[in-house]
Structure 1
Amino acid sequence: MFGKLLSLLGFVVALTGCGVSQAEKERVVTEYSPIIIKKFQTLGYQGKITVDDYTKMIETGSERLYFTYSEEVDGKVISLKDSISIATYKSPEEDLADAEVDMGIREEAMWQQPAVKAQAAQIKQLFSELETEDLKLISVTGQSVQTISDSDGELIREDVVRGRNELSQDASNNREAGLSIGGYYHIDVSKYLKNHVLEIRIDFDWRMSEEEQDDLSGPRLDFSDRIKSLDFTCLWDGYYKVGFDRVSRSNRSGDIQDMIVLDIRGGKLVRSFSVL
């Protein structure tokens, strides 16, 4: 009886998650593939696009198309995966007419450069020094600056927008010069980190007791003090967003995201502020 219940539960979960037959997946992939390939070619990408999968969530009706972009760079094939939201009640041409199909690919391409990967490895090594039995480093990733915190008294939106436009123009110039992955692979990441167009995200999981979650002032102050003791001389100038999920020791659900922004200049922490 218990086995039957598990089987039924598995069936319900699968049905709730994605209600698409294999035939429907193949049809959507086949119809959308040439449109996506053409859009990437029009944008100046020289690599190969492969549409991998299509999903539709029954409870929300949301649809996503998953694809891989591959290009040989300096004798090595770089493969980047991404997905986009689609609406199959439209024709593929109409649906993707104004879609920025390369948004995730261009974002990821910048962080594939050997020098950038080496810097990411140094960041990971540095912040792993903060790990304890209850505090674990989960990931180090690069991203574009999307929002400006009210706690940030220096960065202004106009500067970020100006920097984004400059980055986009650099990529365009790179494409015209025939450089890799739509011109984004050769973007000067350190420059745009310094100008706060890009930033580094560092994520931890922090297992806490219920008492610690109710009053975070003590653990958070200790965490901030430990951060300030790190040696930042190996880091590029820029914003480093150190985030952590406050996870109950007894229950994984109910995570609360907390974040501290570190402003690094000249290998030193010049200021920090909270972005809860």
Structure 2
Amino acid sequence: MATAAQFEGTKGSAGDLATGVSPRGLSEAEARIRFLAEGPNELARSKRRTPLRIAIEVVREPMLALLLGGGAVYLLLGDLQEALILLCFATLSIAITIIQEARTERVLEALRDLTSPRALVVRDGERRRVAGREVVHGDIVLLAEGDRVPADLLLDQSRDLQVDESLLTGESVPVRKVAAMPLDRTAKHRPGGDDVPAVFSGSLVVRGSGIGEVVATGARTEIGAIGQALTSLESEAPRLQMQTRHLVRLFALAGAVVSALAVLLYGWLRGGWLDGILAGVC
């Protein structure tokens, strides 16, 4: 079984590559031109929400706003203990939400990191390691067991090659790969199933080795399409959360009316407007 070290240590002749593939691969000059034209082999960065923006969205929730308002009133009245209790509960809720939302924002970052491993390519007739983001369309990539596929490849050689495509399909069982036939070069291949003559960016070689030609990089790969779908997807609150929020708003409106009446009656009848405000909030 060929390993990455054996691939890298062999300076290779035309006989090492499949028929129809240039034995020299791309030249460095041509690879540089394609890199400038096509851009790096990585997913586009999504616009991430900052912790401050997430906190503002959380504070807009009626119940949290009520807790913060009550804490502020207690603080103004000099009741530090009650103020700290309310503000601590509100701060804890905000902190938990920010942590959860920040983890969600990191999903795309992790997805992009998986699509940019180092790759063993043939350029100017020599095998060399390059950063995954520098792989370009037309590069010849050598794969061995344990490699992360850097781009979508059409296979020219396959030696007992099996690939884990669970990142793309959710299927944990490795799939078998075969070398492409002439008709396969014009067909569209998708991940999933055995005997597909292509491997896809982000998948993992679990057995065997192979040689393939890059047919898609970056956002044009299968995993890139997933990344684009995720970036264009607008997050929508679950139905239960939307119904709960609507119910909370109704109760908040009713509570605001009752509180306003309590403040007016307390202030009008007893003359203590600050005490009335406190009674209305509580």
Q: TM-score, normalised by structure 2?
A: 0.18
Higher helix share: 2
TM-score w.r.t. the length of structure 1 is 0.19
The structure whose RCO (Cα within 8 Å, separation 6+) is larger is 2
